Amino acid sequence: MAPLAGIMNKTATDLHTRLMNRTARIAVVGLGYVGLPLVRALRSAGFPVIGFDLDQSKIDALRGGRSYILHLGADFFSGLAGDDRFTPTCDYTDLATADAILICVPTPLGPHREPDLSYVIGSTQTIAKVLRKGQLVVLESTTYPGTTRDEMKPILDATGLVCGEDYFLAYSPEREDPGSAGRSAAAIPKLVGGIGDVSTDIAMALYTGVVAQTHRVSSAEVAESAKLLENIYRAVNIAMVNELKVVLDAMGIDVWEVIAAASTKPFGFQAFYPGPGLGGHCIPIDPFYLTWKARAAGTNTRFIELAGEINTAMPHYVVERTQSALNDDKRSINGAHILVLGVAYKKNIDDIRESPSAEIVELLLERGAVVSYHDPHIAVYPQMRKHSINLASVTLNAETLRSQNCVLILTDHDAVDYQLVADHARLVVDTRNAMSRTTAAKARVVKS
Ligand SMILES: NC(=O)c1ccc[n+]([C@@H]2O[C@H](COP(=O)([O-])OP(=O)(O)OC[C@H]3O[C@@H](n4cnc5c(N)ncnc54)[C@H](O)[C@@H]3O)[C@@H](O)[C@H]2O)c1
């Protein structure tokens, strides 16, 4: 543990001691894709944990040991249900008993691509109702620089308690990688930046006991900006490789082979892969938090805007490629039977938020295609923010595949038998290079 940077009063010293010896009780607000892995890391570190969510069905599922996030595994949920030091609750007054409250609520975009901080503000207002001397509050949701200081602190200060003396406030972004084995929350280094030195010292005491590595920064704003930099880096590089895909396709060059070749360079290159468009709760959304904040600061974010433009054009590009591949088979897209393979935004997970598959399915339907889908992890298309698709996953077998004019691969789940597709489909449009895993395909494969 690094030396303390701030001068602590008794309230701070007591909380610091409780965090260091793991007797502190920790509350996690928001039990979704980010909150639950954090609960696991906190429990593994030995802390008693309260899990608070407004969604009663999640609390019921946690009490009953029923899974609602596939990639966490059934054992995770049954383990939590049998854990008497984990308390799931919908009752916010339980937060009063916590020594530290960690907020993991959604940060989506509004209808005009402006940050929607209503969940962050709502949960901070809830915490303010129970805030007492000696509590640490940490925001983990992704957001623009200044949120912790300018949006949350005034709400908590209005209780009359003083930040850095009575209560402590920090930002520590979550870096989940859903569905990737070996990357548990505890194994991923964590950034910690507080409102003042004492708040940072106290937040560091918590996370040092929970994750393998912590990195202290000088302010909440630095930690908020670093998280955005990480996601903007991905959005921009994915856009670059998506643009390259379109350019190389036009020249008859396989972008996947080009990326594999460039990846042999042992320095100065990191591989990013093209796809049907951006999906998930982070990469399509978070960069625009900075764009909005930049505008407020009288500047602009041209890289982010351009990357957004290229990435949001990808669903149209995929549909055009599908249409032209069908044309080569002397088939119109109008009336063609198209099986979409994989609708989740990413392989091996059951998360469909912002998935480009929804826009692609809608574009295909608009053009008169007869669309069905198979996704081993998504039985029914859920209602989405911008889309309403009335389809359920069909069985994937030789008969289904033979009845299609085209199979369009949008997500390369490992649970799909691609050799079956190669053996029985006529035409495969592949946006993920999934068919490279097969041998001797009877199907004509078009990369897109
Ligand atoms: N999903 C990821 O892979 C990922 C990775 C890194 C960071 N993030 C960020 O983490 C944050 C949370 O994302 P997520 O994917 O876990 O979202 P999620 O939708 O899976 O979970 C959020 C939970 O918060 C609950 N909630 C909403 N308002 C609440 C309130 N006022 N009080 C209590 N509970 C409330 C919801 O019911 C939901 O269960 C976002 O800012 C996101 O950008 C997500």
The 3-class secondary structure across 83-147, one letter per residue, is CCCEEEECCHHHHHHCCEEEECCCCCECCCCCECCHHHHHHHHHHHHHCCCCEEEEECCCCCCCH
Residue ID of nearest Cα to ligand 1 atom 11: 141
pLDDT-derived band at 178, boundaries 50, 70, 90: confident
113 pLDDT above the threshold of 90:
no
- 375 C-beta closer than 6 A to ligand 1: no
Share of the chain above pLDDT 70, in %: 99
Lookup result for tokens 């602590």: 8
Atom of ligand 1 nearest to the CA of 175: 6
pLDDT at residue 355 in the model: 94
Q: Specify the ligand 1 atom closest to the Cα of 34.
A: 16
pLDDT at 135 over 90: yes
How far is it, in rounded angstroms, from Cα 305 to Cα 433?
27
Residue 30 phi, psi dihedral angles, 5° rounding:
100, 100
Residue whose structure tokens are 């402590």: 168
pLDDT bin (cut points 50, 70, 90) of residue 179 is: confident
User: Ligand 1 in contact with 58 (CB < 6 A)?
Assistant: yes
Asked if pLDDT for residue 18 goes beyond 70, the answer is: yes
Q: Hey, which residues does 339 pair with through a beta bridge?
A: 372, 407
Mutation pick for ligand 1 pocket among 29, 33, 227 (CB with most ligand atoms within 8 Å): 33
Q: What is residue 221's predicted lDDT score, i.e. its pLDDT?
A: 98
Closest-CA residue to 248 (of 263, 258, 261, 236): 258
**pLDDT above 90 for 387:** no
Is residue 406 within 8 Å of 336, Cβ to Cβ? yes
What pTM, to 2 d.p., does this model score? 0.93
Residue 180 pLDDT greater than 90, yes or no:
no
Q: Which residue, by CA, sits nearest to atom 3 of ligand 1?
A: 176
- Indicate whether residue 281 lines ligand 1 (CB < 6 A): yes
Mean pLDDT of the chain: 95
Q: Report which DSSP code applies to 413.
A: -
Helices 255-262 + 220-250 axis angle, to 10: 130
pLDDT band for 1, please (50, 70, 90 cuts). low
| CA 59–ligand 1 middle distance (angstroms) | 15
Instruction: Give the mutation target among 104, 117, 138, 139 for probing the ligand 1 site: most ligand atoms within 8 A of CB.
Output: 104
The CB of 282 under 6 Å from ligand 1? The reply is yes
Compute the distance between CA of residue 227 and CA of residue 17 in angstroms, rounded to an integer.
29
Evaluate: CB of 51 within 6 angstroms of ligand 1: no
Q: Is 34 in the pocket of ligand 1 (CB under 6 A)?
A: yes
Residues 6+ away with beta carbon under 8 Å from 366 = none
Residues noted as catalytic: 282
- How many CB atoms lie under 10 A from the CB of residue 335? 11
- Mean per-residue pLDDT for 294-307? 94
CB-ligand 1 contact for 54 (6 Å cutoff) = yes
Q: How far is the CA of 267 from the centre of ligand 1 (A)?
A: 36
CA angle 283, 289, 290 (to 5 degrees): 100
Atom of ligand 1 nearest to the CA of 36: 16
Mean local confidence (pLDDT), 307-329: 97
Residue nearest (by alpha carbon) to ligand 1 atom 36: 30
Tokens 């063609």 belong to: 336
Q: Residue 2 pLDDT > 70, yes or no?
A: no
- Over pLDDT 90: what percentage of the chain? 90
Domains of the chain as residue ranges with CATH: 10-218 (3.40.50.720), 255-447 (3.40.50.720)
State residue 142 phi and psi, 5-degree precision: -75, 135
Residue the block writes with tokens 């010896």: 21
Q: How far is CA 33 from CA 68, 161, 179, 362, in A?
A: 10, 32, 11, 27
* CB-count burial class (<10 Å; 0-12, 13-18, 19+) for 246: middle
Rounded distance, CA 253 to CA 238, Å? Answer: 18
- Given ligand 1 and candidates 172, 174, 184, which is best to mutate, with the most ligand atoms within 8 Å of its CB? 174
Q: Residues 200-224: pLDDT tens digits?
A: 999 999 999 999 999 999 999 999 9
Residue nearest to atom 28 of ligand 1 (CA): 119
Q: What is the pLDDT of residues 326-370, one digit of tens each?
A: 999 999 999 999 999 999 999 999 999 989 999 999 999 999 999
> Using CA positions, which residue lies closest to atom 35 of ligand 1?
30
Q: Closest residue (by CA) to atom 41 of ligand 1?
A: 141
The pLDDT value given to residue 186:
85
- Residue 88 beta carbon below 6 angstroms from any ligand 1 atom: no
Please tell me the predicted confidence (pLDDT) of residue 251.
Answer: 97
Cα of 172 from ligand 1 centre, angstroms: 14
Give the full edge-to-edge strand order of the sheet including 26-29.
86-89, 49-52, 26-29, 100-103, 135-139, 167-171, 190-194, 214-216
Task: Report pLDDT for 183.
Answer: 77
Note the pLDDT tens digit of each residue in 399-447.
999 999 999 999 999 999 999 999 999 999 999 999 999 998 789 999 9
HSE-up (13 A, CA, CB side) for residue 39: 28
Tell me how far CA of residue 169 lies from CA of 3, 326, 416, in angstroms. 19, 57, 46
Neighbours of 113 (CB within 10 A): 13
Indicate which residue's Cα is closest to atom 5 of ligand 1.
176
- 331-335 long-range contacts (CB < 8 A, ≥24 apart) are 331/405, 332/368, 333/364, 333/367, 333/368, 333/369, 334/367, 334/368, 334/369, 335/368, 335/369, 335/370
Please list the residues that pair with 29 across neighbouring strands: 52, 103
Q: What is the mean pLDDT of residues 304-314?
A: 95
